[in-house]
Amino acid sequence: MRDSTQGSRDIRILGAGSEEYKRVLQSTLYLFGTFAILAYAAGLEVARGYVGLALPLGVLLLLLGRFLVRRWVARQRHRGRFRRRLLLVGGPKAVRHIFQTLDSEAGAGYAPVAAALPGYKARREDYLPIPVSTDLDTVEDLVALVEERDLEAVVITSGHSFVPGDVRRLGWELQERGVSLIMAPALVDVAGPRLHTQPLAGLPLIHLSTPRLSEGKAFVKRGFDVVASGLGLIIISPLLIAVAIAVKATDGGPVLFRQERIGLGGRPFTMLKFRSMVVDAEKIRQRLVSDGGDADVLFKMKDDPRITKVGRFIRRTSIDELPQLVNVLRGDMSLVGPRPHLPHEVEAYDQYVHRRFLVKPGITGLWQVSGRSDLPWEEAVRLDLYYVENWSILGDLVILGRTVKAVIAADGAY
């Protein structure tokens, strides 16, 4: 039976994801509700002002306290503490993916220390920086390895050779030793709310709901965009005027840079930015590419000679993006969304990448707060598609918060 904290201290959620905050809030409301019922039943006099103050203040302090604890736990986990030692079991590709994911998310508290590839021969391309065994073909072999390495959990992913009976028996053996069994299906980049489990004759069926932006959610997102961009333009208008004067004074060229980008539904629109490059930047770009510059889909250079002195500052601080608030107000863009791409970039896309056009492009997004120009093309695409598939208003607020942090740190900006 779950305790009064609603499982908010469960090791499986502690320090990772929003579920922890949700359970803290649920347990607080549960306790206040119980207190109110008992007070009413006992005929106790409780001042309404006290309840009206204690509930919101208590919730705020609890969430703040949990946030600080999470930050401390995350730092400790990145230093190698408070992490559960894992054995990864499955096929080579699946195990490699699980390892890379868990290793990059150290704050979640998992530390893969060994891998087993039952039924596979070791190959050079299957190399992992942890011990890999290919001769563990039975439940007894896995249990022996767990005991030998003092492991705390076993993760089974796709590609393993065990039948359902073997997995059940492994679970029993691990339970006797206080070791957890974790099943990791071959699903990637899927947010929790889209997953629903249906037990059927002892078989857990995982339903994956179709991603869609309903009319109600689209209305909320659009309303938030209009209000936030409108207020933002009013508040930062002195800054916009100052930057416009500085850009104009640089070389007398235009203040704004207008460029055709591809938006919702694959439709083109004119995106606005403060001009940060010399006037004939596009001609110079063609020469740079022909001279051996980065010619992939996303053309970026850390020491781009086309950027002006003022431009270098406004790009590093992302001030050059601020005119896009006008695009948001017009309805061409959203505050948060995939990166708006150029027509010639879109022509180079694989067909599945066109799913980015199911939502409006954004001033910021997962791609921008995860490294920006430092990210390879494939990772940028993955993050944009993840956003499209798993959009939520809470997720947008989190991304906006991370954007502030990324701008201050100038992560990947050039």
Is residue 352 situated within a structural domain? yes
Q: 256-287: per-residue pLDDT in tens?
A: 999 999 999 889 999 999 998 887 767 776 66
What is the token pair recorded at 399? 């991304």
Is residue 265 situated within a structural domain? yes
Q: Domain check: are 262 and 369 in the same one?
A: yes
Query: In which band, very low, low, confident or very high, does the pLDDT at 395 lie, cut at 50, 70 and 90?
Result: confident
Report which of residues 1 and 284 the model is more confident about: 284
**CB burial string 93-125: b at 16+ within 10 A, e below:** ebbbbbbeebeeebbbbbbbbbbbbbebeeeee
d(CA 380, CA 372): 8
Tell whether the model's pLDDT for residue 52 goes beyond 80.
no
Is residue 131 situated within a structural domain? yes
Q: Domain check: are 236 and 307 in the same one?
A: yes
pLDDT score at 2: 47
User: Is 4 in a helix, a strand, or coil?
Assistant: coil
Instruction: List residues bridging with 89 in a β-sheet.
Output: 116, 156
What is the token pair recorded at 236? 């930062």
Q: Domain check: are 354 and 240 in the same one?
A: yes
Q: At what angle are helices 164-176 and 139-149 packed, to 10 degrees?
A: 30
Is residue 154 situated within a structural domain? yes
* Range of the structural domain that residue 231 is part of: 215-409
Q: What percent of the chain has pLDDT above 70?
A: 82
Terminal CA-to-CA distance of the chain, rounded, Å? 53
Find the radius of gyration of the CA atoms of the chain. Answer: 26
Question: For the sheet containing 84-89, what is the strand order?
Answer: 132-133, 110-116, 84-89, 153-157, 180-184
Q: Domain check: are 127 and 166 in the same one?
A: yes
Tell whether the model's pLDDT for residue 412 goes beyond 70.
no
Mean pLDDT of 298-321: 79
Q: Domain check: are 320 and 285 in the same one?
A: yes
Closest CA to 113 of 102, 97, 121: 102
Is residue 60 situated within a structural domain? yes
Q: Domain check: are 221 and 355 in the same one?
A: yes
Q: What is the CATH number of the domain that holds 174?
A: 3.40.50.11190
Query: In which band, very low, low, confident or very high, does the pLDDT at 410 lie, cut at 50, 70 and 90?
Result: low
What distance lies between CA 200 and its chain's CA centroid?
32
Q: Domain check: are 95 and 35 in the same one?
A: no
Q: How many domains does the chain have?
A: 3
Q: Domain check: are 276 and 155 in the same one?
A: no
Instruction: List residues bridging with 205 in a β-sheet.
Output: 198
Q: Domain check: are 162 and 272 in the same one?
A: no
Structural element, H or E, at residue 139: helix 139-149
Residue at which a domain ends, from 63, 78, 93? 78
Q: Domain check: are 251 and 400 in the same one?
A: yes
Closest CA to 268 of 326, 332, 222, 320: 332
Is residue 2 situated within a structural domain? no
Tell whether the model's pLDDT for residue 45 goes beyond 70.
yes
Q: 129-145: per-residue pLDDT in tens?
A: 888 888 888 889 899 99
Q: Domain check: are 102 and 65 in the same one?
A: no
pLDDT score at 147: 92
Is residue 197 situated within a structural domain? no
Tell whether the model's pLDDT for residue 361 goes beyond 80.
yes
Tell whether the model's pLDDT for residue 3 goes beyond 60.
no
Q: What is the dihedral of CA 120, 126, 131, 132, to 10 degrees?
A: -10
Residue at which a domain ends, from 39, 54, 78? 78
User: Is 286 in a helix, a strand, or coil?
Assistant: helix
Q: Domain check: are 256 and 370 in the same one?
A: yes
Is residue 1 situated within a structural domain? no
pLDDT score at 270: 96
Tell whether the model's pLDDT for residue 43 goes beyond 90.
no
d(CA 160, CA 374): 35
